[in-house]
Amino acid sequence: MPVISVPYAFNEEELYVDLRSIFGHSLYLKCEGFNFAGSIKLKAATEMVETAERDGVLTPKSILVESSSGNLGVALSMIAASKGYRFLCVTDARGNLSTRLMMEALGSQVHVIADQEANGGFLGARIEYIRALCASDDRYVWLSQYTNPSNWKAHYRTTAPEIARQFPRLDVLFVGAGTTGTLMGCARYFREWHRPVRIVAVDSVGSVSFGGPPGRRMIPGLGMSMRPPLLDESYVDEVIRVEEADTIRTCHRLARRGFLLGGSTGTVVSGAADWLARHGARELTAVAIGPDLGERYLDTIYHTNWLEDIYGEDVLNSREVHAGSWDSDAPLARWRRRLDLQTGDLDGDQHHQLQDRKT
C-alpha cells in the first residue's frame, strides 16, 4: 500500500486497458490519469519544477507562471500548493471551466486570454502575456513547457521505460502531439531500444504542428497553432490527424463501455483504431498513450448542448457511438432527454411527463 506525504509522489504507472472488445483490434491503452493531477502532465510538471529548483532558477520568493490549456496548469497548481509557491496559469477561452475551478481551488491564479489570433489560435497571445509579465517583475519564473527539455526528458525517464517493461515485443506506439514532450521522450527512448518500434504521432485536424492549414479546434489538449519547438520529426515514423467529431464519437463510445476518458485520450484512441483498421494489423502489439480522464470534460464533450451548439445535432448520430453497447438500437433522442432532465433544460410540462413515466 503506497503511503505518501506529497501529492506528486503518487502516479499509477502500470494500468492498461485492452480495447480489443470495443474496437476489434489488439490495442492496449496506457491510462495516465490516475494521479492527484488527473493527467500525464504530472510527469512533465514535476520534472520541470525539480530541475528549476536544482538549477537555482526557482526560489521561495519565485512566482511560477505557465501557459496551459488545462492539464499542465492543474499539475503545476498541485505542485505549487504542496511546495508553497505562488502560481499563475495563463490559459484561454477554450479551456474547460472545471479545470479552471480546480486550479483556483488549489490556490492558483488563472488569467484567461479571450481574443483569438488571425490563425484561430490563442497560443501566441498567451506567450506574449507571459513575456510581458516576466519583463515587468523578475520574481516570475516561466518554465516554458514548449521549449523546456525537461518536458521530454520526463517521458524518456518514465513513460517509455514503463511501456517497454510491460510490452517487450512492442511493434507500434501511438502518442498524441501537443507540446510533443511525451512524443519526443518516448520516440527518443525507443530509437535507442533493442528492437524497432514504429512511432505514430496523433494530431488534431486544424493543428499546424506538422504543417498544413490552421483550423478551428475547440477541444483543449492536443494540437498547436505553431510548430512545437521540441519537435524533431526525424524520430516520428508517421503522423495521423483526427477530426474533432471523431474524437467526440470515440469518447462517447468508450463511455458506453464504462470508460470515461478525456478529449486527448479520445483523439489518440480514434487515430490508433483507424490506423490499425487500415493496416489490418491484428497481430501487432500496439500501445496508445491516454493522457487524461473524462471528468473535466463533462461540461463540453459529454454535454449535449455544447456538442450541438458547436458541431451540430448529428455529431453523435452514428452507429460507431453505439457499437457493442446494450442500447445500440435506442433512439438518440431518448438519451438526450435524460441528459436534459439532469441539466435542467426541460420545461415544466416535459419534466412532469418524464417523472410520471418513471413512476
Decide if 191 contacts 221 (C-beta within 8 A): no
Instruction: Indicate the residue type of 118.
Output: A
pLDDT, position 142: 97
Q: How many CB atoms lie within 10 A of CB 344?
A: 7
CA atoms within 13 A on the CB side of 161: 6
Alpha helices of 204-258 — where are they, by DSSP H? Answer: 244-255
Specify the pLDDT at position 115.
74
Distance from chain centroid for Cα 198 = 22
- pLDDT of amino acid 314: 86
pLDDT for 317: 78
State which residues of the chain have pLDDT below 70: 116-121, 281, 318-359
What confidence score (pLDDT) does residue 321 get?
Answer: 65
Q: What is the pLDDT of residue 95?
A: 79
**CB burial string 294-306: b at 16+ within 10 A, e below:** bbbbeebbbebee
- pLDDT recorded at residue 345: 43
Report the pLDDT value the prediction gives residue 319, as an integer from 0 to 100: 60
Would you give the DSSP letter of residue 155? H
Q: The whole model's pTM is what?
A: 0.87
Helix (H, G, I), strand (E, B) or coil at 92: strand
Q: What is the pLDDT of residue 48?
A: 98
Q: What is the pLDDT of residue 333?
A: 43
Q: Of 20, 72, 27, nearest to 268 (Cα)? A: 27
**Cα Rg for the chain, rounded, in angstroms?**
21
Identify the pLDDT of residue 343: 44
Task: Return the pLDDT at 43.
Answer: 98
Question: How far is the C-alpha of 268 from the C-alpha of 14, rounded, in Å?
Answer: 18
